């Protein structure tokens, strides 16, 4: 089995997708599930930051559209609004958190998700309930932020446990930083060019179906994630957007859209034939061959 990274192809695709997404969207869609804030929440406010932070922390193995809708409904309901307030969360029994996260299907795995949700308690105890205090303590340096998300711990029931479960992950940590920039509007973050693209099934599929990463492979999809991160880190070099160098995070949303609204629905997994190729912005990069992703496994022959 051999995997090939085509950075020249990635460079062309990155520019095309970014320009198309910024202008008219990918396959007619211009927004992400997290772009819609709860009612009466001002973009960039502490409430908005907490809404984004809590929700992205449980963004794993589930449909993003339904997750963010469930989170908005939970935020808008006075009875479950406390779930997004670190101080109130600290004062609430765990059993009630579990129950209330199920009201609008905010949690998919009730016990695990409620435990992850308790990052709010960490933010209350260590950072006064405001994640911006943590970011400032990291000097707004993305490298330091990701390192501390991965390594910082506290004692719980006599055992050391992570301060930031899931936020510390290889996908969700970078995804959080992108959302802080793009959704919350935090423009103080530094060294974002050193943050890898947050790879999920959609970013992975779009990378494979366009031949940026190709070849022969059969195994767990996760085994290709490092190749995908490397591909986009290198492919964006030399490109610019809005008078600054393009970075890997800039192609996260366009790739997600390409897979979510295109490749995952209309591309034949075996042949690579696509029923919407005539109107797909990335049609010149679409390759023939097998890209079959099922149950976290991938069969690649391109």
Which CATH number does 2-31+195-301 carry?
Answer: 1.10.1670
Strand partners, 214: 4
Q: Evaluate whether 245 touches 193 at the Cβ level (below 8 Å).
A: yes
**Cα–Cα distance measured from residue 270 to residue 293, given in angstroms and rounded to the nearest whole number:** 11
> What is the DSSP code string of 189-211?
-B-GGGSPP---HHHHHHHHHTT
Task: Give the Cα separation of 80 and 101 in Å (integer).
Answer: 8
pLDDT in tens, the chain (302 residues): 799 999 999 999 999 999 999 999 999 998 899 999 999 999 999 999 999 999 999 998 889 999 999 999 999 999 999 999 999 999 999 999 999 999 999 999 999 999 999 999 999 999 999 999 999 999 999 999 999 999 999 888 889 999 999 999 999 999 999 999 999 999 999 999 999 999 999 999 999 999 999 999 999 999 999 999 999 999 999 999 988 999 999 999 999 999 999 999 999 999 999 999 999 999 999 999 999 999 999 999 99
**pLDDT at residue 122, as a whole number:** 94
What pLDDT shows up at residue 183? 97
From-to residues of CATH 1.10.340 in the chain: 44-184
Its pTM stands at: 0.95
CATH 1.10.1670 in the chain, residue ranges = 2-31+195-301
Alpha helices (H) in the chain, listed in sequence order? 7-23, 46-56, 64-76, 86-90, 94-102, 110-117, 119-127, 131-137, 142-151, 172-179, 201-209, 225-235, 252-258, 264-266
Give the pLDDT confidence score for residue 45 in this predicted structure. 98
CATH code linked to domain 44-184: 1.10.340
Q: Note the pLDDT of residue 156.
A: 85
Q: Which two tokens stand for residue 273?
A: 């034939």
């Amino acid at each position: 089995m051999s995997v090939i990274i085509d950075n020249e192809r990635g460079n062309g695709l990155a520019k095309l997708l970014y320009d198309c997404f910024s202008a008219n969207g990918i396959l007619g869609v211009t927004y992400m599930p997290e772009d819609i804030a709860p009612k009466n929440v001002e973009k960039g406010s502490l409430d908005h930051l907490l809404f984004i932070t809590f929700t992205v922390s449980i963004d794993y193995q589930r449909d993003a559209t339904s997750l963010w809708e469930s989170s908005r409904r939970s935020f808008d309901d006075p009875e479950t609004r406390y779930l997004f307030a670190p101080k109130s969360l600290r004062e609430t029994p765990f059993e009630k958190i579990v129950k209330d996260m199920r009201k609008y299907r905010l949690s998919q795995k009730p016990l695990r998700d409620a435990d992850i949700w308790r990052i709010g308690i960490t933010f209350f105890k260590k950072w006064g309930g405001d994640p911006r205090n943590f970011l400032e303590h990291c000097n707004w340096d993305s490298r330091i932020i990701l390192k501390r998300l991965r390594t910082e711990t506290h004692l719980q029931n006599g055992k050391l446990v992570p301060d930031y479960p899931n936020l510390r992950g290889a996908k969700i940590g970078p995804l959080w930083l992108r959302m802080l920039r793009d959704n919350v509007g935090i423009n103080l973050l530094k060294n974002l060019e050193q943050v890898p693209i947050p790879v999920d099934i959609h970013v992975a599929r779009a990378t494979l179906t366009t031949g940026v990463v190709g070849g022969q492979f059969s195994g767990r999809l996760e085994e290709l994630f490092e190749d995908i991160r490397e591909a986009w880190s290198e492919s964006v070099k030399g490109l610019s957007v809005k008078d600054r160098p393009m970075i890997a995070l800039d192609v996260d949303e366009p790739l997600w859209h390409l897979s979510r609204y295109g490749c995952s629905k209309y591309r034949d997994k075996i042949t690579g034939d696509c029923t919407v190729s005539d109107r797909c912005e990335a049609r010149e990069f679409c390759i023939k061959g097998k890209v079959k992703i099922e149950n976290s496994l991938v069969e690649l022959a391109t």
